[in-house]
Structure 1
Amino acid sequence: MSGIMMTAYKIAVLCNNRIAIPALQALAAQGRLCALGVPEANTDVIDFGLIITEKSGIQLSILKKEILSDQLDELIAKTDAQFVFTMTFPWKIPGDILNKHESKFYNFHYGLLPEMRGADPIFESIRSGAKETGITVHLIENKIDRGPIILKKILPLSINMTHGVLCTNLSWLGANLLSELLILLKNNPVGTQQNENNARYFSKPAASDVCISWQKQDAKAIEALSRACNPWNKGAYTQWNGWNIRVVESTVINETSPQSEIPGTILSLDENNGLIVKCYNETQLRLDIIYIDEGFMSGHKLFAFGLKKGSRFVNLNLKMN
């Protein structure tokens, strides 16, 4: 057995999302997890944390943003953690803590750096039609997503991945890379500097980012957007007659639309053909599953609510309330 495997490094993890769960379970099973920190408002992850910590005696810290520095200082002092991993942690690690505990904090970024900086690279990777994504583990510095890279793992993106499916794939990738990561941290905790020439930053998705623009987006782009919004936003928004409708799942139709129809127009609405809508650049999209306040249902069932062939969805350009 290698020296790294025999050395039970103590790892504290700060997280805010289910994507961290397989890694947490792996670290706990290896006897490496010494503390878990979760923001106070995230009751779901706190409940899961209680299950892990009660069985193992691991410290669970309910974190508050206004006293984060003191809490992190105390957590490290009590547990003697060699490293602190952040996994979807929503708050910036205070500069005084980074200075005091040099080369101790590392972030699991669920996207490729420096090309996909920002709060939700999973959404942007799917929406943009990227061919691959992955996990980038980097040293945390004062500037968000800019520290030296310790390890980068690539994950191919298939055309049918939803936001939820990709989260699950990345969560298991995060657990599987732990052994290699610990070896790298032992041998080269400095890492490799990011190439700023390749850097791009994407803000957290706003309301306008999850709205369909039939006159500006072709069928392929709208289909990708619907997957990027599934399940966290219950689909991508459109409207008809002031009624919010979300496209959860859709299929690009390889047919040419009549030139006379305006994008957003319903070309078909029946059980045999489904709900087919004209999109930008003479493309067509079948809305397979939609979400409304009444529930999730097949697209063609909107006929019961008054939609019909020739009806037109609103071209949403602005942020919704």
Structure 2
Amino acid sequence: MPVFNMDTTKKILVLCGGKFAFPALQLLAYEKFICGIGIGKGSDTIIEALERESKDSNIGFKSFCNKKSMLEMRAWIDDLQPDYIFCISFPFLLPETILSYGHDKFINFHPGPLPQYRGVMPIFEVLKNQETETAICAHFMNSKFDEGNIIFNDPIAIQKGDTYGKLTVKLSERMAQVTLNMANMLQFASSIPNQPQDETISCYYEKPQLSDTYINWKRMDADEIIALINACNPWNIGADATLFGEQIKIIVASLLHEPHENQPGTIVSLNDTINIACEDNMQIAIEILSTDKGIMTAAQFALLYPVPTSTLN
């Protein structure tokens, strides 16, 4: 690791959105690159923890709880005079009044490949779409979400069985190394190679709604259903569905390579797992689900509804 003269080290201000950025903040602070931390929409616990650590490390700190508070950001940046501003899941769009602080000084680290996965929750989208690889994309920022010139896409494999939670932790840990590598590069680079995004392959995903998390048994095959369940665990508790007329969330399920002669959405068996027929002649085996009575195993659910077969909506 290079040793820098602290009088000449290029200072970095980090804007973040919560604990996803913690590993990166810790590593950058340890290497003495950070001059300030700003958090947007953070919980009281996270804000207090970051403010305490920032004070102990003599690092500037500011909380931006809403869009109105963003009016204070430019003056804060002008006061700290960072050489670069890193954004890691910061929830607010930075206006030109802030971006005008300096050309190519704002770098966002997007937890998904660009330009294919623009939007607020690329982790959900790549899992739902059954991608085998995602990325952390470093790009310069402009006045539109996720549209600035790309510096690089750092690829990350998606393992079979990865859930939203597992992939988020993996990306958070990788983010620390990616941002540190960028900080080191900036110490020596007079310019940063970058290229415009290819708009012909771009796609922007809005924040998922109920229609995006709901299982459609008649249109989705077994692999799609399992992918959706994993993509919803744990942020949405699970994938939404209806069972015995009750709205439920399926948290954990696996693929059953067993053919059936039932309509899609039919409960084939209800014992240790809830086995449900899918439209591609496969079944999924539900292991854990959330109901109005609480989170329970399929076996516990079976005791409440000792009915051999039923059809889901």
Q: Same fold (TM over 0.5)?
A: yes
What TM-score range do you get, normalising by the shorter chain? over 0.9
- Percent identity over the alignment? 31
Task: State whether structure 2 residue 159 is matched by structure 1 residue 158.
Answer: yes
Provide the C-alpha distance between the structure 1 equivalents of 2:295 and 2:112, rounded to a whole number of angstroms: 30
Provide the C-alpha distance between the structure 1 equivalents of 2:18 and 2:3, rounded to a whole number of angstroms: 32
Contact 2:41 2:91 in 1 (8 A): no
Match of 1:317 in 2: none
Match of 2:201 in 1: 198
Q: Paired residues, what number? A: 310
Match of 2:213 in 1: 210
Contact 2:126 2:134 in 1 (8 A): yes
Shift of 1:183: 4.3
- Structure 1 49/3 Cα, relative in aligned 2: closer, same or farther at 3 Å? closer
Structure 1 residue ranges, 4+ long, deviating more than 3 angstroms after superposition: 1-7, 64-70
Using structure 1 for the length normalisation, give the TM-score: 0.90
Shift of 1:235: 0.3
Unmatched tracts of structure 2, length 5 or more: none
Match of 2:15 in 1: 14
Provide the C-alpha distance between the structure 1 equivalents of 2:16 and 2:180, rounded to a whole number of angstroms: 19
Match of 1:292 in 2: 291
Greater Cα offset, 82-91 or 99-108: 99-108
Match of 1:222 in 2: 225
Letter in 1 for 2:277: K
Provide the C-alpha distance between the structure 2 equivalents of 1:180 and 1:313, rounded to a whole number of angstroms: 50
1:109-148 matches, cutoff 5 A: 109-148=110-149
Match of 1:243 in 2: 246
Contact 1:148 1:190 in 2 (8 A): no
Match of 2:105 in 1: 104
Match of 1:281 in 2: 280
Contact 2:67 2:92 in 1 (8 A): no
Provide the C-alpha distance between the structure 2 equivalents of 1:45 and 1:14, rounded to a whole number of angstroms: 14
Match of 2:36 in 1: 35
Q: Secondary structure at the match of 1:209?
A: helix
Contact 2:270 2:308 in 1 (8 A): yes
Letter in 1 for 2:288: I
- Structure 1 221/136 Cα, relative in aligned 2: closer, same or farther at 3 Å? same
- How large is the Cα RMSD of the aligned pairs? 1.9
Unmatched tracts of structure 1, length 5 or more: 315-321
Provide the C-alpha distance between the structure 1 equivalents of 2:219 and 2:4, rounded to a whole number of angstroms: 53
- Structure 1 68/189 Cα, relative in aligned 2: closer, same or farther at 3 Å? farther
Match of 2:310 in 1: 311
